[in-house]
Structure 1
Amino acid sequence: MEEAKVKIPDNEYYQKLEEYINEVKHMPGTLINVLHKAQGIFGYLPVEVQSFIADKLGVPYSKVYGVVTFYNFFSMEPRGKYVVNICMGTACYVKGADRVVEYFKQKLGIDEGETTEDGLFTLTSARCFGACGLAPVLMVNEDVYGHVDRDKVSEIIKKYKEKEKNE
């Protein structure tokens, strides 16, 4: 009896993901890499994408879901183009990371875990970035900002809004 094949949705994102999976699926420990790639393609990891990955890798859906929900860099909800992730480790907290979070909330008009209506910014926090000498520190996607205060929050937001206008 031939194994049932999942029909690939007529969607270039799924096709791009399947091409990547086919390149790496025979390598050990590919799940996290595939999840990173999928989140890069889709912007987040909805249940449908997780199910597709499980099927294509031949692993139980529960394993995929477990990895997605365990690691904070994976999201099951759409995120903004720019994810502002503020370190809340001890050094950063002592140096005012909680105030930095409040500044971003005020300037962006969102709470932690939310995305601005224009889809540009998502506000998150994490335990520790290992950059204590820069406290308080935050990342916007892969860009690191240290010694952040109220003025720097305004500069950071302005930088990414201007970047958006120029694209």
Structure 2
Amino acid sequence: MSAFDAPNYGTQPNHLEQPWEPEVAERLRGDAAAVVARYPQKRSALLPLLHLVQSVDGYVSTRGIELAAEFAGVTAAEASGVATFYTQYKRHRNGDYLVGVCTNSLCAVMGGDQIWDDISDYLGVGHDETTPDGTITLERLECNAACDFAPVVMANWEFFDNMTPRSTRELVDALRAGQAVRPTRGPDRVHTFKEVSRVLAGFLDGHADEGPSGGAATMRGLRIAREHGWDMPSSARAGEEATGPVPGADGAGTSENGKVDAQPGPGEKQSSAEAEAAAGKSSEAKQPATSPVDDAASAGNTSDPKGDTK
């Protein structure tokens, strides 16, 4: 077996761990203290602390669990429970690049299953397995919230949109060759797993705004709405200061409780519930305020759950 464990990110490492070098341990403890200082409760820092030790070891090691538990003020068992719950934390050595293929519903029917089968055969590894050279760990992913660009492949959680088996092979070849690979959206290049883990620990690297975060397909609906001047009635009220007076601010179209009575806009339909509520208000308005109420009759109309009148 290679230095990389068999699949299953919940397993313990199968190799002996040695203490960190003194300079590494000193730097790591300083960073851990900085992470904890961000939170009013130490235990709230556990998640970024796990990312921090992963940025050093390439996975959440046993020594990393102990350090995270120490600084978060929890037991090693509690820290280990968190590390084995979230799939972003690896309990065995991860490759330099985590390549994930989405095979959820839309990506699957758009070619995700074919991409997975092809790249798995090409690399000779399966889910959560790492190539012998330690560069690529392959994962089968659930939805990445990028369905408008299906099928999607991710490399260290950076998006590669509208992929094919061929383009996925080209991606892993470039990563294994040490080339700078630019994702479809996001930073100018894909950073290593350790580098990304440090960012997730809260130590920003300044690359977040290098590229677009929303692609054309994602923003298409917003663009069309702006071209046609479409807007939601509620958004006009919420943005009163930016867009001008709210309809009804002068008293017209305002109910007794001071709230604006929203009316359907052009092309909109009023729901049945809204129509009934409006009809009820109308009938109440027509009834004189001095109309007598028959208390006895009102009391006699009370029914029990069986329908018997009391």
- Taking structure 2 as the reference length, what is the TM-score of the superposition? 0.48
Matched, 1:127 2:138: no
Report the equivalent of 1:18: 29
Per-residue CA shift, 1:31-70, capped at 9, x if unaligned?
A: 1111111111110012221022112322111221111111
Output the amino acid matched with 1:64.
A
Report the equivalent of 1:152: 167
Assess, with a 3 A threshold, how the Cα gap between structure 1 residues 10 and 150 changes in structure 2: closer, same or farther: closer
The SS at the match of 1:70 is: coil
Assess, with a 3 A threshold, how the Cα gap between structure 1 residues 139 and 11 changes in structure 2: closer, same or farther: farther
What is the alpha-carbon distance in structure 1 between the residues aligned to residue 21 and residue 178 of structure 2?
32
Higher relative contact order, structure no. (Cα contacts within 8 Å, ≥ 6 residues apart): 1
Report the equivalent of 1:3: none
What is the deviation of 1:21? 1.3
What is the deviation of 1:9? 4.9
What is the deviation of 1:108? 1.0
Q: Choose 47-56 or 69-78, whichever is displaced more.
A: 47-56
The SS at the match of 2:133 is: coil
Report the equivalent of 1:109: 124
Q: Is the 8 A contact 2:46 2:79 kept in 1?
A: yes
What is the alpha-carbon distance in structure 2 between the residues aligned to residue 13 and residue 103 of structure 1?
40
Segments ≥4 residues shifted beyond 6 Å: none
What is the deviation of 1:118? 0.5
What is the alpha-carbon distance in structure 2 between the residues aligned to residue 124 and residue 41 of structure 1?
21
Per-residue CA shift, 1:96-135, capped at 9, x if unaligned?
A: 2222111111111111111111000000122111000111
Report the equivalent of 1:69: 84
Q: Is the 8 A contact 2:102 2:142 kept in 1?
A: yes
Output the amino acid matched with 1:94.
V
Report the equivalent of 1:31: 46
What is the alpha-carbon distance in structure 1 between the residues aligned to residue 179 and residue 22 of structure 2?
26
Output the amino acid matched with 2:29.
E
Q: Is the 8 A contact 2:94 2:130 kept in 1?
A: yes
Q: Is the 8 A contact 1:135 1:148 kept in 2?
A: yes
Whose Rg is larger?
2
Output the amino acid matched with 2:30.
E
- Taking structure 1 as the reference length, what is the TM-score of the superposition? 0.85
2:102 to 87, 104, 108: 87
Aligned pair count reads 158
What is the deviation of 1:25? 1.8
Output the amino acid matched with 1:22.
A
Q: Percent identity of the aligned residues?
A: 27
Report the equivalent of 1:161: 176
Q: Is the 8 A contact 1:89 1:126 kept in 2?
A: yes
Q: Is the 8 A contact 1:21 1:56 kept in 2?
A: yes
Looking at secondary structure, tell me which structure has more helix per residue: 1
Q: Is the 8 A contact 1:21 1:57 kept in 2?
A: no
